[in-house]
Structure 1
Amino acid sequence: MGYKNITEFVLLGLFNNEDEKTTCSVLFLLCYLAIISGNLVVLLTIRGSHLSEQPMYFFLSYLSFMDVCFTSTVAPKLIIDLLAEWNTISYSGCMAQMFYAHFFGATEIFILVVMAYDRYVAICRPLHYMVTMSRQVCYILVMASVVGAFIHSFMQVLIIIELPFCGPNQIDHYFCDVFPLLKLACTDTRLLNITIITTTGVLSILTFVALVISYIIILFTLRSRSSEGRHKALSTCGSHMTVVLMFFLPLIFTYVPMADSVSDDKVFALFYTMIAPLFNPLIYTLRNTDMKNAMRRVWCQEKWLKGN
């Protein structure tokens, strides 16, 4: 029997109540503007100060850039759909959104891993730090993150475009993702579900466990340091671990189960698409003296007055 592929999908979104939609559209718009401005401030502060010479902040600037890109693949469509009566997205648009969401999201995951490795080398192998984390190595690690993310997202899209979609075309989500699309395919997708859970879900768990183990090792190493050095190291590591928890835990809950509770997945997805990128700039600046000092130097009014 031949299948006729559909040409567009309908995104059911987060809510059905019209009052909730209007209120949330304003709330998400404010969150999106805060994400853009907050992460750009962090990015421009690092690039406009001496902090860019330090590997940790070099990676942080890329993390902020990925936050902006990742949220921008989802938030504008979400905000518009909350105000629209019929929320459609073309087949090609859906595939593009899924590709970019996975690409930027996976790049962010790999950069978080690289940042944890940077902290491990800085604290546990300080004498080798400048050689191990040279600028050339930093660029290689960023490029490896991008290439790894591209391969991951390409494989996700490759799985979906090979599937027949003959209807229904309603996606129970606010953006195009793998599991909601698998539910609409006109074929048996149980094996594909297991494959995606094995690759994405298990990889997320293993990455998270590796990050936790690295920080346990760091904490043991810090016991022999002075109180001042220990406090500074714990400040940067604490910020990074907070970001990791906010990003990875909802991701694991989304991709590890058998994806039968898509409504719960939508709530979990909000954490890594909107909430984590919103709080990342605050987490990395409020407890970081170097960032606060750099922000004063880069954004201080006196600098602008002198330039006029």
Structure 2
Amino acid sequence: MDRDNQTTVTEFLLLGLSGQSEQEDILFGLFLGMYLVTIIGNFLIVLAISSDSHLHTPMYFFLANLSCVDICFSSVTTPKMLVNHILGSKSISYMECIIQIYFFITFTNMDGFFLSVMAYDRYVAVCCPLHYTMIMKPKLCMLLVVASWVITNLHALLHTLLMAQLAYCFNNTVHHFFCDPYAILKLSCSSTFINELMVFTVGGLVFLTPFTCIIISYAYILSNVLKLPSAHGIRKAFSTCGSHLTVVSLFYGAILGVYMRPSSSYSVQDTVATVIFTVVTPLVNPFIYSLRNHDMQRALRKLISVFRIRKF
């Protein structure tokens, strides 16, 4: 079909998570509460780490960066859904949708890269404790963070520019609460072969590389932990890695269930899994990393006490 004779879509309609108004009201309150807790919780993590000199270590440096990414990640999708509910609208402009796709891809992959970097940090701490300070130097930590930002932004730019080249005709209804790249891809009335090829080559490489690094890091960690002579040493090693491994399982488990298959098989039921890694994972990260971490608990108590003193 000649592209000039097609009706150009100027906006998309986000149907949300439910088609019933009563359920939408409940979901609005639930998502608003989760979003506020996510922002406050991750912001407190960043403040606690930056204000406590005892936490100025590579592990907490990466955790602070992960919390910043989680704040941005949750802010990509949830606020638009909340605003649309308040305004009684389901529309999102074409340009807003493209921008949302860009940042969604960026911060999704950024989470994966930082989880991979944190897994490497745990590997060095458990398997090479005597050389930890020599390996995890500030320059290396900063280089890993900068490299993660550059790679993920270039990757997002590639897919966003390819998405912007597609034609959208009459169907502009998205069965989701945000502009999910796969859901938008299915609406195009032009060929999506190049887009899908890039998803399963470049996208697969960018996604699977940090995931593979995490698997390899924990394989070495497990191998070294099992060689420890005392049960106390084993418990300490698992305690060090337990929080991170929980987040990795939650994040990658949901993503693998949704995106590691052809886009043609993407269904509305996958929305639940999408909510897990876009909303739930950024929400639970502060709790997972602080509940069993005595250093974080001490830093948070110290931070809260400072707020109380300034208040009175």
Specify if TM > 0.5: yes
Unpaired runs of at least 5, structure 1: none
Pick closer, same or farther for the CA change 1:169–1:46 going to 2, 3 Å.
Answer: same
**Cα distance in structure 2, aligned partners of 1:107 and 1:202:** 14
Alignment check: 8 A CA contact 2:163 2:195 kept: no
**Cα distance in structure 2, aligned partners of 1:94 and 1:157:** 10
Is 1:66 aligned to residue 65 of structure 2? no
2:261 matched residue in structure 1: 257
The Cα shift of 1:255 comes to 1.4
Pick closer, same or farther for the CA change 1:40–1:122 going to 2, 3 Å.
Answer: same
**Cα distance in structure 2, aligned partners of 1:210 and 1:69:** 24
Residues 202-217 of structure 1 aligned to structure 2 (within 5 Å): 203-205=206-208, 207-217=210-220
- Alignment-mate amino acid for residue 280 of structure 1: N
**Cα distance in structure 1, aligned partners of 2:303 and 2:86:** 38
Alignment check: 8 A CA contact 1:99 1:154 kept: yes
**Cα distance in structure 2, aligned partners of 1:203 and 1:304:** 44
The Cα shift of 1:257 comes to 1.5
Is 1:278 aligned to residue 278 of structure 2? no
The percent identity for this pair of structures is 37
Is 1:157 aligned to residue 146 of structure 2? no
Is 1:109 aligned to residue 119 of structure 2? no
Counterpart among 4, 7, 10 of residue 7 in structure 1: 10
SS at match of 1:176: coil
Counterpart among 139, 145, 150 of residue 148 in structure 2: 145
CA-based RMSD: 2.0
Is 1:46 aligned to residue 49 of structure 2? yes
2:293 matched residue in structure 1: 288
Is 1:78 aligned to residue 96 of structure 2? no
Is 1:178 aligned to residue 184 of structure 2? no
- C-alpha deviations, 1:20-69, integer Å up to 9, x for none? 00011001100001101111111111111024421000000000110010
Alignment check: 8 A CA contact 1:10 1:169 kept: yes
2:234 matched residue in structure 1: 230
The Cα shift of 1:298 comes to 2.5
- Alignment-mate amino acid for residue 68 of structure 1: I
SS at match of 2:187: coil
- C-alpha deviations, 1:128-177, integer Å up to 9, x for none? 21121111111111000100110111011011011111221112221112
Alignment check: 8 A CA contact 1:7 1:90 kept: yes
Count, aligned residues: 307
The Cα shift of 1:261 comes to 2.8
> Which deviates more, 141-150 or 97-106?
97-106
